[in-house]
Copies of this chain bind each other. A is one copy, B any other.
Amino acid sequence: MTDFTRTKSLFAIPDGVIYLDGNSLGPLPVAAAERVGRMLQEEWGKHLIKGWNVAGWMTQPRHLGDRIGRLIGAADGTVVVGDTLSIKVYQALASALELNPSRRVILSDTGNFPSDLYIASGLLQSLGRGYELKVVAPEEVEAAIDETIAVLMLTEVDYRTGRLHDMRALTRKAHAAGALTIWDLAHSAGALPVELESAKADFAVGCTYKYLNAGPGAPAFIYVAPVHADTARPALSGWMGHQAPFAFDLDYRAGPGIERMRVGTPPIIAMAALDAALDVWDGVSMADVRHASIALSDLFIREVEARCPELTLASPRDGTRRGSQVSFRHPEGYAIMQALIARDVIGDFRAPDMMRFGFTPLYIDEAEVRAAVDIIADVVAHRRWDGPEYRKKALVT
């Protein structure tokens, strides 16, 4: 297995913590703090307004887009960074629906992240005109693709179970039926090889605070296939997507290609953290990451099942059908997870009964997986979770 000692040293994880929640929030890359400090003091502090030109702030959304593009099989100039994932879903869906104007059905599944569904239903309510959001079970998606579907909108990796959709096959089937596709890569980018261009995805969106480690609420990204990039109308038509933002024309003219998916003033401080976080990937092969991630999660499943019969696997057993996380169910999953966190094994919980554990080889190794299982086995076997302190509900789970 590839040696990830180098990348592990690039993260500032507190001693003794086994961090299995990079699928929710990646840990701090050491360089991110330094880079943000420099941005604040040297760029903003010294250059002030001139930073927009001399520090390259204005072109950062494209520069970072290209860097992310290389991790998800997208050519330079097809990805741009900004806003939040929910906003990028809105943009992608609004554009995709207009590109398929004779149809009225958006197909998604119950494994999609709820915010994507909320955004879709909010958009459809604004549009009226008979638009409909059809939500089926993940395993029924393929059969539900027919010639009524305008847009197939899915999250590639299920946020609860880690179940992985077959992007290539579903996109092919969608196209054959005359539908466009939007892929949410929240749990894919940085977790496994994604080949947007070769899979012929029409749109893709994702966040950068999970496997890309850019910090809480870090900016999102959007990909638009070159075939649509100059025709998609950005419903969120902000000045940064204008052909000439600094001409201050009263009328909107969409900028070239992916530029039009920019909206407002880019978040420069957050982008400095993202830029540094992406440095971690220099020289890293996504195939190696994937190989190691499957090995680590297979090991985890094997060990947990051997030692904790109380827990039920909720993720696909076949590593090639999973993202980079493993979930186990237990009726007291919430309390168990709190007890684990108290012992520095950090995963998270999704209602009603799902414990999630993320495996990111960049900073998690086999010894830590084994150590984590020791603690899980101890907590579960001895019901160490069975105290009021572990049942107290937090705002964020």
Contact = CB atoms under 8 A, between A and B. Distances in A.
Interface string A97-127: 0000000000000100111011101110111
Interface in A204-240: 207, 209, 215-220, 233-240
A367 interface: no
A7 interface: no
Contact of A84 (B27, B40, B265, B396): B265
Contact of A118 (B57, B83, B246, B252): B252
A216 B51 contact: yes
Interface stretch (A165-173, A175-183, A343-351, A371-379): A343-351
Interface in A241-280: 242, 246-252, 263-271, 273
Contacts of A25: 44, 48-49, 51-52
Interface residues of A, number: 95
B235 A53 contact: no
Contact of A50 (B135, B240, B250, B341): B341
B53 A239 contact: no
A269 to B, nearest CB: 5
A293 to B, nearest CB: 19
Interface string A75-86: 000000001111
A125 B233 contact: yes
A320 interface: no
Given A84-B263, A86-B238, A264-B86, A53 B395 contact: yes
- Copies of this chain held together in the complex: 2
Contact of A83 (B37, B57, B84): B84
A307 to B, nearest CB: 25
Contacts of A242: 114-115, 118
A58 interface: yes
B351 A247 contact: yes
A268 B87 contact: no
A267 B267 contact: yes
Nearest to A51: B216
A385 interface: no
Given A217-B265, A268-B217, A48 B33 contact: no
B44 A28 contact: yes
Contacts of A250: 110, 114, 117, 135
Contacts of A217: 57, 264-271
11 contacts: A13-B48, A21-B48, A28-B41, A53-B396, A58-B395, A83-B83, A87-B236, A115-B242, A121-B251, A216-B265, A248-B351
Given A53-B396, A121-B251, A122-B235, 14 more contacts: A24-B49, A40-B273, A44-B215, A58-B396, A84-B263, A84-B265, A86-B236, A86-B240, A110-B250, A113-B239, A119-B238, A122-B252, A216-B267, A217-B267
